[in-house]
Amino acid sequence: MDRLRIGILFGGSSEEHPVSVKSAQEVAKHLDTDKYEPFWVGITQSGAWRLCDGPGAAWEDGSRQVVLSPDSSIQGLLVLDQGRYETIGLDVVLPVLHGKLGEDGAIQGLLELSGIPYVGCDVQSSALCMDKNLAYLVVSNAGVATPNFWTVTPDENIDPGLFTYPVFVKPARSGSSFGVTKVSTPEELRSAVEIARHYDPKVLIEEAVVGSEVGCAILGNDLDVIAGEPDRIHLSHGFFKIHQEDNPESGSENSTIVVPADIPVDMRARVQQTAKAIYRALGCRGLARVDMFLLDDGTVMLNEVNTFPGMTSYSRYPRMMAAAGLPLGDVIDRVVSLALTGKAQ
């Protein structure tokens, strides 16, 4: 049987470039090459696309310039060489990209133009989930609790006296806690807004939620979705920022992730059902990790949704799915099947 020709995109020009490379390295370890013929496309931090042998440490060395054709009659890659090009047809694309231009609908728009089936959320859902302000509005309208928040536009000056502290200041469209600051006094607010604006001109000021941070991995389309085992983050201080640690493979300086979550069985079921409701309300497809707060009164509240979550050795999504009996190799098979047929085989 012919192998599926799968284009795997990784890297990217967002602040999450290093995490994406690590995710791709983990995907490479679990990809069944008896089923798939991989074509690895690394995107440099400057935005150059390079066809390479894989996501190893020196993937840019010896790589060739390549683009994804937006012409749906070609459906593949164009490898450029001295003014000429070679065409590589693809059956499916796996965009192992995080953050801006990876999870925000940009790459999904290019893939829609290409006509190639791709893993994960579509343009609309990706853009919606990336924008925390819009995601909160949609999810709250679907009956799921969200934090109280205020949106700060690019040129707006905020009166620090409007808020009860502490609050969190965060970019509206960023991931992995980049640009997020916990603000404890009015005097700290304006500098926190400026930090967030380095990542996105649109900024959220959000109430500090008192509760446990929990997450749930979701896989599937429409009504046919499954949930992994929820996890819970134990914090010693500060807030969760695993992808900004110097050596996250060896653990975090302020957090421990427990999976399965050490919460009662009824709360586990509530977290899973709420995650599914959020996933559907936002139109997610393929996979996503839904991060939530579990309050003392049993309320489950949305924190954020990652439409292509980290797949590294220490990432939460593969750990939650593995705890539910789905190792990463099986997850890859299922999301590829969803991209091709709409069903997880």
Report the chain's C-alpha Rg in angstroms.
Answer: 20
Going across the sheet that includes 76-81, the strands are 84-89, 76-81, 64-68, 49-52, 36-43, 4-11, 92-96
Cβ-in-10-Å burial (0-12, 13-18, 19+) of 316 comes to buried
Catalytic residue among 285, 289, 316, 334: 289
* CA end-to-end span of the chain: 17
22 is catalytic: yes
Backbone conformation region of residue 215, classed left if phi is above 0, alpha if psi is from -120 to 50, else beta: beta
Distances (CA, A) of 215 to 54, 142, 224, 292: 30, 19, 19, 6
Paired tokens of 209: 């939620």
Catalytic residue among 5, 22, 50, 100: 22
17 is catalytic: no
Catalytic residue among 5, 202, 232, 243: 243
CB 103, CB 126: distance < 8 Å:
yes
CA 51 from centroid of its chain's CA atoms = 23
19 is catalytic: yes
Paired tokens of 333: 């098979």
Catalytic residue among 118, 199, 314, 317: 314
Q: Which residues contact 116 (CB under 8 A, 6 or more apart)?
A: 7, 68, 75, 76, 90, 91, 92, 93
Catalytic residue among 143, 237, 249, 265: 249
Catalytic residue among 5, 11, 19, 228: 19
304 is catalytic: no
Catalytic residue among 26, 310, 319, 334: 310
Catalytic residue among 98, 232, 276, 319: 98
The catalytic residues are 19, 22, 98, 243, 249, 289, 310, 314
